[in-house]
Amino acid sequence: MKFNDFLNDQLKNKELKKEYDKLTPEYEIISAIIKARNEKGLTQSELAKTIGTDQARISKLEKGTLNPSLDFLKRIADGLGQELHISFIPKQS
């Protein structure tokens, strides 16, 4: 069974889906950072050096174990040659 098939099957559970959906913003931020870093061909260490932090902090962020400040996200975006945009989107019922 492929992971996406497994996930879709598990998300039929309403309680699990509710908890999973709560984490969507975090997953989107992490995915965007990893994608941009990979597109730039940067390692975690190289990105860390560019923005004046250590590799462990980038690793924790990408693993989802660091709750970054807005300032830290701005520094990451700048280090990746990106702009940081945050938006509010109406919830789907």
Residue 56 has pLDDT above 80, yes or no: yes
The more confident residue out of 69 and 22 is 69
- Of 53, 87, 56, 88, the closest CA to residue 78 belongs to 53
| The amino acid at 47 | L
- Sign, CA torsion 84/75/29/1: positive
At the topology level of CATH, where does 3-79 sit?
Answer: 434 Repressor (Amino-terminal Domain) (1.10.260)
**Per-residue confidence at 66, pLDDT binned at 50, 70, 90?**
very high
| Mean pLDDT along residues 41-46 | 98
